[in-house]
């Protein structure tokens, strides 16, 4: 009986130690969350996808040989003025967050939900490009989003602030307990940055129309 009682006591102690370790790890995770920091770093124009039927929507590229359709000419003139009346396609943006992990452990990013606000112009959902582990120190987390190419794209030069808001769900290992972390960070965007994106989009649209026109000759 004494032997059985001793074994039982040892088992209870082992279970208590295991529970204590689990609690400690959970507290460590909570501490990491308190010390984690997310900074908005960069927004870039990754690519532009132009609808292949834009010229068709305008009634065809050419009339009577090499002369462009008057509707195409009018569209190009309006585009130069920032006037858009049809659906042009999509612009794909890249967003970089700097996530600082102050702990000595690597964190596993299990889930991510966020959006980026371009001043009051529009809110866009963000997607995580790759699965991410957050090593100790600074981590560049790359996100992507897309926006419709409509008249709002030519108001980019008016944007002065970009804000990233969302939630990271991390764990201390592949099977560890998930811990959520809310973040909200913004940065001032220079006029030159936004003008560069706007001009790039405009030029891509013009190049696409010119290519279709020349291809139809």
pLDDT at residue 163, as a whole number: 92
Q: How confident is the model at residue 30 (pLDDT cuts 50, 70, 90)?
A: low
Q: What is the mean pLDDT of residues 43-72?
A: 73
Nearest Cα neighbor of 150 from 69, 72, 91 is: 91
Classify residue 137 by burial, with Cβ atoms within 10 Å: 0-12, 13-18, 19+: exposed
Hey, what's the torsion of the CAs at 17, 20, 26, 31, to 10 degrees?
A: -120
Cβ–Cβ < 8 Å for 149, 92 = no
Strands (E), 65-118: 67-68, 89-101, 107-118
Using only C-alpha atoms, the chain has a radius of gyration, in whole angstroms, of 27
Instruction: Return mean pLDDT, the chain.
Output: 78
The predicted-structure confidence for 186-213, as pLDDT tens digits, reads as follows 989 888 988 898 888 888 888 877 776 5
- pTM score of the predicted model: 0.73
Strands (E), 61-215: 62-63, 67-68, 89-101, 107-118, 122-128, 133-134, 137-148, 161-171, 179-188
User: What is the spatial distance between Cα 207 and Cα 36, in angstroms, rounded to a whole number?
Assistant: 45
What six digits make up the tokens of 214? 């020349």
Q: What is the mean pLDDT of residues 84-94?
A: 87
User: What is the spatial distance between Cα 180 and Cα 216, in angstroms, rounded to a whole number?
Assistant: 55
pLDDT at residue 18, as a whole number: 43
Cβ–Cβ < 8 Å for 135, 99 = no
pLDDT at 23 over 80: no
User: What is the spatial distance between Cα 100 and Cα 108, in angstroms, rounded to a whole number?
Assistant: 13
Cβ neighbours around 75 below 10 Å, total: 25
The predicted-structure confidence for 124-180, as pLDDT tens digits, reads as follows 999 987 768 888 999 999 999 998 888 888 888 899 999 999 998 888 777 777 888
The SS3 of residue 106 is coil
pLDDT at residue 28, as a whole number: 59
């Amino acid at each position: 009986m004494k032997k059985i009682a001793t074994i039982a006591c040892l088992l209870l102690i082992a279970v208590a130690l295991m529970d204590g370790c689990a609690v400690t790890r959970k507290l460590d995770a909570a501490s990491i969350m308190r010390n984690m920091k997310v900074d908005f770093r960069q927004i870039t124009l990754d690519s532009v996808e132009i609808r292949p039927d834009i010229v068709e929507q305008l009634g065809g590229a050419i009339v009577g040989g090499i002369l462009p359709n008057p509707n195409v000419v009018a569209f190009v003139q309006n585009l130069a003025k920032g006037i858009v009346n049809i659906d042009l396609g999509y612009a794909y943006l890249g967003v970089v967050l700097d996530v600082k992990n102050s702990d000595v452990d690597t964190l596993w990013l299990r889930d991510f939900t966020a959006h980026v606000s371009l001043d009051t112009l529009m809110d866009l959902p963000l997607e995580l490009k790759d699965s991410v582990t957050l090593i100790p120190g600074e981590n560049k987390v790359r996100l992507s989003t897309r926006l419709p190419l409509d008249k709002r794209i030519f108001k980019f030069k008016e944007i002065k602030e970009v804000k990233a808001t969302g939630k990271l769900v991390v764990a201390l290992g592949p099977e560890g307990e998930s811990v959520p972390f809310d973040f909200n960070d913004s940065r001032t965007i220079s006029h030159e940055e936004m003008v560069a994106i706007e001009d790039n989009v405009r030029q891509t649209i013009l190049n696409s129309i010119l290519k279709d026109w020349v291809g139809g000759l």
